Amino acid sequence: MYDLMIKNGKVVDGREIRETNIYVKDGRFAKVTTADLPSQHIEDADGAYIIPGCIDPHCHFRDPGATYKEDFKHGTTGAAVGGITTVFDMPNTNPAVLDEKSFLYKKDYFADKAFVDYGLWGLSLGDINLAKLKEIKKAGGVGIKFFWGYAINKATNALVYNYVPGEEGVIPPLDDGEVYQIFEEIAKNDQLLAIHAENNELISMLTKRIKDSGRNDYAALLEARPDLAEGLTIQTAIAFSQATGAHLHVLHVTSKMGVEMIRKAKAEKINVTAETCTHYLFLSDKDYGKIGAGIKVYPPIKHEYDRKALWEGLRDGTIDYVSSDHAPHAVREKQGGLFDIPSGMCGVETTLPLMLNEVSKGHMTLPFLVRVLAENAARLYNIDYCKGFIKEGCDADFVILDMNKKQKILNEKLHSKEPFTPFNGFETTGWPQKTFLRGRLIAQNGEPVSPQALGKFLSVKM
């Protein structure tokens, strides 16, 4: 007898939609069939669409180290409510994930706080931990993150986000020779290197010029951090990937220039993959007047032609998947001048509703949504043996959708510790109705249903 039967559902994968039943046994999909089989519990989907639990590979849950902004419990609760059943946490926490010891500490630290399953990134700081990167892979890390162009605090190894040349106690951003060594090590270890792509030298010069002019508008921010800053770094990274064979993954692509470079590299069979984020797909500089300074993220949201190019890149496969880059700050910190407030915002809870709204508008299909929110990431990170698919043997992570539900995204409805989204007030059609993790209901109608943190650490299959 099966543990759970979901009957009368329309099951969606990356190719098609099938009217079929789902059977769960011991937390995994046991059968996907039209047959009526004996089950201990029966859930009637009543004709609703059912998709695999979504995957968000790019989250900053600020935990440990800055938990006044966000913590893992609140962040993963938001993920569960939003139909995300697997998250990957970024490594720039305090302590940072620099070696096996710090990796295992964070893995265990999250164990009783996770409301969805989780994987962990490691962080590259150049020579400081170059020899330790392989340890992170052996411990089950999903890949290595490199914040290209960021300085490092000598005392704490923390990233310095607004480096000023000559700062005391700071290791300047790595030069190209030092970065090349990271690519060599990544290739040797057969790892994935994910980069934040912005050119520090160009940004430093342009930011000083803009600040000296006294401007503080959004156009000034874009002039200080233009598409060229992204393009220069992507161009160099592609060249390093081609020379070393390292798997390069470009995070949060924002620009038409970046899309075109990645498209060309893929056509040349260079080992490059890429992601973009919902705020880049749904917002542009024209939205600043409505949203205000809270729209600020790094790299910044750019122009309307960039937004359209990102959609084109997603549709033609240049961009592999969509993430949130969930990175909350205290709401009070997001008040002030553009050049003074921190960059980042909530996103993990609103990714699926925003994309479902595009389905409701007829701009994409549900199979396409499943590819860019589940299947592609599962394959890229070698977790397709257990995540991203409704098929026999995979973890029974799935979401029952209500494609008729119309509701506004509201800050006060978010489950993050510091709820702020630039999409506050956006009405979307299509919402996650129920979220299941390994066959257990964890969220329903916008709220968590289990007081227990049922999430588990997910080790990448080597």
* Inter-helix orientation angle 256-267/227-244, to 10°: 20
Task: Give dist(CA 397, CA 18) in Å, integer.
Answer: 17
Per-residue pLDDT tens digits for 73-99? 999 999 999 999 999 999 999 999 999
Q: Vertex 162, ends 212 and 69: CA angle to 5°?
A: 125
State the pTM of this model.
0.97
Average pLDDT of the residues in 27-42: 97
The two tokens of residue 347 are 């996103």
With a cut of 70, say whether residue 412 has pLDDT above it. Answer: yes
Angular region, 450: left φ>0, alpha ψ -120 to 50, beta rest:
beta
The yes-or-no verdict on residue 264 having pLDDT over 90 is yes
Mean pLDDT (the chain) is 96
> Quick one: CATH architecture of 53-385+405-428?
Alpha-Beta Barrel (3.20)
Give 450's pLDDT tier (boundaries 50, 70, 90).
confident
Per DSSP (E only), the strands in 288-397 are 321-323
Phi, psi at 356, each rounded to 5°: -65, -35
pLDDT digits (tens, 9 = 90+) for 164-219: 778 888 989 999 999 999 999 999 999 999 999 999 999 999 999 999 999 999 99
What band does 462 get if pLDDT is binned at 50, 70 and 90?
A: low
Q: What is the DSSP string of 252-274?
A: S---HHHHHHHHHHHHTT-SEEE
> How far is the CA of 42 from the CAs of 13, 22, 50, 291, in angstroms?
22, 10, 15, 45
Q: Is residue 160 very low, low, confident or very high in pLDDT (cuts 50, 70, 90)? A: confident
For residue 451, name the pLDDT band (cuts at 50, 70, 90): confident
pLDDT at 358 over 80: yes
Q: Cα-Cα-Cα-Cα dihedral of 233, 328, 386, 370, to 10°?
A: -80
Q: Where are the domains of the chain?
A: 53-385+405-428
The alpha carbon of residue 252 and the mean position of all alpha carbons in its chain are separated, in whole angstroms, by 8
